[in-house]
Structure 1
Amino acid sequence: MERTSEIISRAEEIISRSGDARRQALLAHAFTDPVARHRLDDLLSEVKAALAESPDGPALLAVVADIVSERRRLYIHDSAERERADSAVTSALKRLRGLGSSAEMSRRAPAELREACGFTRVMISSARGSRWMPDTMRPSDHADPDAAEFARFAKNDNEIPLAHLLPETQMVRHRLPVLVSETSPHAYKPLVQVTKTTSYVAAPIVAKRRVIGFFHADRIGQRGEVSQSDRDSIALFAAGFAVMFEHAVLNELLAQQRARWTAGLRAIIDALDGPAVATPAGTPLDARGDVVVPPHDDPAPGKHGRTLTERERQVVRLMASGATNHAIAGELVLSVETVKSHVKNIMRKLHATSRAGAVATYLQSVPKEVGAT
């Protein structure tokens, strides 16, 4: 009877603690602690063994029923949390996709992942070659006493070598998420010390078949530790984020390319639609009647004013070919305002009152053999 009372008392305590932890996990959007399930399994085995030897069958059977019931509640909680977390991750990724900008997606991703999965802190970092660089951490408002210290750590542009046994190295090699405990001999100790984490989950961000960064997350300050289910959640988020991030980067590159093409076409249209510049008398022409453009190393007219700069000579040669300011800007990759400034300086140095006069003065100063054909 004494043995039975002892088992019943311990069972009540373990079941009660499991229930408290389950309710805390519900509030934190967390999965239940695997340790609690292991304790219940061990307790169930002990009660079954005692049941075979003890005459107090009804009392022990009631304990078995309580244990099985609590195990079932843990299972129901984790199943519901899995469904909730998957849905929250999907919603978070949709919000990030709406941002468009890859830089803004990267900045907002840690906070979205933290809120979706109930983590205390989430960090995003980049990986280049054989090094990885912690970048941005998004902590919850109430659970990060070391935020300032980590901020200093990140601002120092720390580049952590991807040593042979680091979990991050394994992620680069195998592209799989990891769960790391404080006791792991392979965790990067300086980062563990500055974040004060006891365990964390991490997943690689894979784009174009290579790892470009990582997500790290923990539950510091919460009652439970991160779990294998947390590892699955962060892996799901990282996979979706990588696809959207790569798509955003490609869209930005295409937009930049389109802008360059548009500027070039606009310059050509402006040149075709703009007023023709009369060719000054005496301007050297080739057999087809086109203006002969002096070679790149032609001398500048020192006798008519201060020496033209190399850029000014490039501008005046294009002026001589009849190009408008927009066309010159497109050819030399300058702004139209910069071209206007160069034209003004050329006219001042050549003592000319018009573009045509500046071109005529410039061409007259070029050695005669330049135009001889």
Structure 2
Amino acid sequence: MTADGRMSKLLTRVRKALELAGTPAAGVGDPESAEVALAVAAGELGERLAAGTTDPGQAGALLAKVYALRHELSELREGEQAQRRAALDASLVRLGAAIDSDELLDCACEAVVEGCGFGRVMLSRVDGSLWRPWKSYAAGDREADRPFREWITAIPEIRLDNMLLETEMVRKRQPALVTDPAHDPRVYRPLLRASALTSYVAAPLLPTGRVIGFLHADHVDAPVTAFDRDLLWAFALGFGRLFERAVLLTRLREQREQVRVAMRTVEAVLDELASAEIELTRHAAVAELRPARTRPRSSAALEGLLTAREHEVLALMATGATNNRIADELVITSGTVKSHVKRILRKLGAENRAEAISQYFRLTMAGPS
């Protein structure tokens, strides 16, 4: 029998025991409410025994049954929680195989459902003061989720004002538990209408200490608990570390490729210099008859031809940096970088970036002619 089946049977026995003890059992539908009701029943039975208002034998046997049910409920809950923690750890291990941040984001929702035992999850982004619900995943085919999926597909932009629960999560960097969303003023009403949430948990994603998104999760037919909140929070923290690592690995790969491009450029320039020297030696007489080219022949001439900013841009181009990378380095816009590159090519008489970089290396490495 599954853990859910055992819990369902145990809750049925709890309700029967509560009825025998005279304690209301109508609201017992989950382990937490059952635990509270059993504690109340134990207290009332103890008071009756102390006051002598009930049959001691019957009340004593019923009290022992209540304590036995509480113990059994506690053991079953602890076992279920241990299984969910193990599933969470396994889910994070699987996600750890991804080295790309986009791949991680694609798998996040499914990993929360399968690894944390939730029925549905939503992943959101935070861009400045805007909260953008992004994608969702649900266990099984839930037709009732269609309005919710359509709402997310519309990519709503929600301003994070002071009244929202999500604003509170950004400010406190802590998870949240919502047990009665219909009467909680912090809950965003369009989200509540689209999702038909009866209770849910949420956690911020903060890989570098800054909130970049949220996870919202709920169950299909059961209310969420404080353990659900803590479990989602553990996943969010682990996912944040994996995401940060993936971003750093992506940047490292980009920088490695830039170095490779620069090294290939240097190698090509060195080959060109060597070939040019051999050619000059073999055909010196012919070279003297050729008209002089208009390109600069030394680094000093290069500096005289280009402005200081254009020289900086050309030096960064020689490292293999893209326009965006040059813009970040020099704290200018990419459009300004494009304008500098065009002027550099025109002044050097180069047809493309590669030829300009080749000239840069040849002139700066060769020294004055």
Q: How has the CA–CA distance of structure 1 residues 229 and 155 changed in structure 2, closer, same or farther, with 3 Å as cutoff?
A: same
Q: Show the counterpart of 1:69.
A: 68
CA distance in 2, matches of 1:104, 1:55: 65
1:249-288 correspondence runs (5 A)? 249-274=247-272, 275-276=275-276, 281-284=290-293
The answer to whether 1:10 aligns with 2:37 is no
Q: Show the counterpart of 1:328.
A: 355
Instruction: Give 1:284 shift.
Output: 4.3
The answer to whether 1:241 aligns with 2:239 is yes
Instruction: Give 1:231 shift.
Output: 0.4
- 1:132-157 deviations in Å (ceiling 9; x for gaps): 11111110114x32433223222222
Q: How has the CA–CA distance of structure 1 residues 145 and 312 changed in structure 2, closer, same or farther, with 3 Å as cutoff?
A: same
The answer to whether 1:80 aligns with 2:107 is no
1:33–1:225: 8 Å Cα contact kept in structure 2?
Answer: no
Q: How has the CA–CA distance of structure 1 residues 36 and 155 changed in structure 2, closer, same or farther, with 3 Å as cutoff?
A: same
CA distance in 2, matches of 1:130, 1:287: 51
Matched AA of 1:258: R
Q: Show the counterpart of 2:208.
A: 208
| TM-score (normalizing by structure 1) | 0.70
Q: How has the CA–CA distance of structure 1 residues 264 and 147 changed in structure 2, closer, same or farther, with 3 Å as cutoff?
A: farther
CA distance in 2, matches of 1:154, 1:216: 13
The list of structure 1 runs, each at least 4 consecutive aligned residues, that deviate by more than 3 angstroms after superposition, is 11-18, 274-280, 284-296, 310-316, 329-332
Secondary structure, in 3 states, of the residue corresponding to 1:239? helix
Instruction: Give 1:331 shift.
Output: 6.7
CA distance in 2, matches of 1:136, 1:180: 21
2:98–2:246: 8 Å Cα contact kept in structure 1?
Answer: no
Q: Show the counterpart of 1:139.
A: 138
Q: How has the CA–CA distance of structure 1 residues 127 and 13 changed in structure 2, closer, same or farther, with 3 Å as cutoff?
A: farther
CA distance in 2, matches of 1:193, 1:108: 26
Q: How has the CA–CA distance of structure 1 residues 165 and 331 changed in structure 2, closer, same or farther, with 3 Å as cutoff?
A: farther
- 1:72-105 deviations in Å (ceiling 9; x for gaps): 1111122112221221111111111101111111
1:268–1:327: 8 Å Cα contact kept in structure 2?
Answer: no
Q: How has the CA–CA distance of structure 1 residues 286 and 74 changed in structure 2, closer, same or farther, with 3 Å as cutoff?
A: closer
1:150–1:195: 8 Å Cα contact kept in structure 2?
Answer: yes
Q: Show the counterpart of 2:93.
A: 94
Q: How has the CA–CA distance of structure 1 residues 8 and 110 changed in structure 2, closer, same or farther, with 3 Å as cutoff?
A: closer
1:216-231 correspondence runs (5 A)? 216-219=216-219, 221-222=220-221, 224-231=222-229
2:169 to 168, 171, 175: 171
1:40 to 32, 38, 43: 38
CA distance in 2, matches of 1:122, 1:254: 32
Q: Show the counterpart of 1:193.
A: 193
Instruction: Give 1:288 shift.
Output: 6.3
Q: How has the CA–CA distance of structure 1 residues 160 and 313 changed in structure 2, closer, same or farther, with 3 Å as cutoff?
A: closer
Q: Show the counterpart of 1:368.
A: none
CA distance in 2, matches of 1:13, 1:270: 90
Matched AA of 1:46: E
Instruction: Give 1:16 shift.
Output: 9.1
- 1:222-248 deviations in Å (ceiling 9; x for gaps): 2x2000000010010000110110111
Q: Show the counterpart of 2:332.
A: none
Secondary structure, in 3 states, of the residue corresponding to 2:103? helix
Q: Show the counterpart of 2:121.
A: 122
Secondary structure, in 3 states, of the residue corresponding to 1:259? helix
Structure of greater Rg: 1
CA distance in 2, matches of 1:217, 1:131: 20
Instruction: Give 1:267 shift.
Output: 1.5
Instruction: Give 1:15 shift.
Output: 11
RMSD (Å), alpha carbons? 3.5
Stretches of structure 1 that go unaligned for 5 or more consecutive residues are 1-6, 22-31, 297-309, 320-324, 333-373
CA distance in 2, matches of 1:185, 1:288: 73
Secondary structure, in 3 states, of the residue corresponding to 1:135? strand
CA distance in 1, matches of 2:136, 2:358: 45
Q: Show the counterpart of 2:160.
A: 162
CA distance in 1, matches of 2:215, 2:115: 14
Instruction: Give 1:328 shift.
Output: 2.3
CA distance in 2, matches of 1:269, 1:189: 62
- 1:255-285 deviations in Å (ceiling 9; x for gaps): 1122112112112212222443876811147
2:348–2:356: 8 Å Cα contact kept in structure 1?
Answer: no
Matched AA of 2:184: S
CA distance in 1, matches of 2:299, 2:18: 105
1:127–1:133: 8 Å Cα contact kept in structure 2?
Answer: yes
Q: Show the counterpart of 2:350.
A: 318
Identity %: 30
Q: How has the CA–CA distance of structure 1 residues 329 and 200 changed in structure 2, closer, same or farther, with 3 Å as cutoff?
A: farther
2:206–2:212: 8 Å Cα contact kept in structure 1?
Answer: yes
CA distance in 2, matches of 1:127, 1:252: 21
Stretches of structure 2 that go unaligned for 5 or more consecutive residues are 1-15, 281-286, 307-341, 360-369
